[in-house]
Structure 1
Amino acid sequence: MDHPDTLGHDIRALRVARKLTLADVAERLGRSVGWVSQIERGLSTPSITDLQAIGNILDAPISLFFGTPTGPDEERGVVVRAAHRREIGERDTGLIEALASPDLTDDFEVIHSTFQPGASLDEPKQRATTEVVYLLSGALDIWIDGRAFTVRAGDSFRIKGSDYRWANPYDTPAQALWVISPPVY
């Protein structure tokens, strides 16, 4: 079964979601449009330095560009096994995130998040996205546009271009599934 090169297709999906052209990215990188196009088509492999620069331009963590889901060829691009998700973001903040989607080529992405006890996002964050979050386990305190809520396993909430922050002051991890459109990682 044919499946797309994850790195190149993910970079293209992020670029399109950010409404950037090949020329925009090429100019910011100081590279040619052809070079960026070759990366997106899987015909060339960028260096670590190039990936850092691409990540900065696309506002995506460089960790997203590493690793591909493993498994049988017939599952790649279709099935993501729990043990083989691509981890994204920084673990040291108390938030562990993994890409539950096979890649970033859809109009949305699905992220599995684990909020460790005591972890928090203290400074409000805002993204030009619509996000629906379903809490799988535990409890989480959230603030959306300054309004405080406590959500528990089975609850869900939506963030639509709003300021938000969160905290897990509880003794157990909270696990959530996020559906985000357009993709941000």
Structure 2
Amino acid sequence: MQGPDERVLASDIRALRKARGLTLAEIALKLGRSVGWVSQVERGLSTPSLSDLRAFAELFGVPISLFFSHDVPVESERGVVVRAGRRRTLGTSESGLVEELLSPDLGGSFEMVRSVFAPGAELKAEARRPTEEAGYVASGLFDIEISGVWHRLGEGDSFRFEGKPYRWRNPGTEPAVVIWVVSPPVY
């Protein structure tokens, strides 16, 4: 019998694999595990060890903290509601970016993330993902470069782009809070 954490973990690993267009066989080869084992992990029948979770995190390019969900005390809220004090936190304040997963899991067609950018924080190297992304600036100043064009955004402004190179920075003296939506989920 699988518990709630195993269900979320299994769903998230499967969603990350599919978002990256990888097969079970490709994952198994990269992890040095059998296809059957990876399939059992994705179905919640096997629980990966901490070293396995580190390997999954490295393979998918996500922080290992993503795989540690917070308990949902009310069964009717599981997979539906995420309470403010129970979000999964991704990143650290030392990196200049702390993100919280607002979506209950990665199993849907999109994910929603609350990103807090420290003053002066920036993504120096251009990033590009095979996703459609949109964001809403809840507070602060936020600069985003999309396909070589910089845009200065303030509280209440929003943006959207698909599959284009981007960079970001917080030019302000206060943290910038951006609600970010990504489809398909990549975290």
Q: Structure 2-normalised TM-score?
A: 0.92
* Residue matched to 1:172: 174
Corresponding letter in the other structure for 1:83: G
* Residue matched to 1:26: 28
Aligned residues: 184
Corresponding letter in the other structure for 1:120: E
* Residue matched to 1:181: 183
* Residue matched to 1:97: 99
User: For each residue in 1:34-81, what CA deviation from the matched residue of structure 2 results, as whole angstroms up to 9, or x when unmatched?
Assistant: 111111111211111111111222222211111235331111110001
User: For each residue in 1:110-165, what CA deviation from the matched residue of structure 2 results, as whole angstroms up to 9, or x when unmatched?
Assistant: 01101111211111111111101111111111111111110011111112111111
Q: Tell me if structure 2 keeps the 8 A contact 1:135–1:154.
A: yes
Other structure's SS at 1:136 match: strand
Q: Structure 2: which 5+ runs fail to align?
A: none
* Residue matched to 2:139: 137
Query: For 1:123 and 1:21, how far apart are their aligned partners in 2?
Result: 29
* Residue matched to 1:41: 43
Other structure's SS at 2:89 match: strand
Corresponding letter in the other structure for 2:169: A
Query: For 1:154 and 1:143, how far apart are their aligned partners in 2?
Result: 18
Q: Tell me if structure 1 keeps the 8 A contact 2:147–2:165.
A: yes
Q: Tell me if structure 1 keeps the 8 A contact 2:8–2:69.
A: no
Residue correspondence of structure 1 range 61-100 to structure 2 within 5 A: 61-100=63-102
Q: Pick from 122, 144, 157: which aligns with 2:159?
A: 157
Q: Pick from 128, 132, 150: which aligns with 2:130?
A: 128
Identity %: 53
The farther-off stretch of 86-95 and 5-14 is 86-95
Q: Structure 1: which 5+ runs fail to align?
A: none
Change (3 A) 1:69 1:139: farther
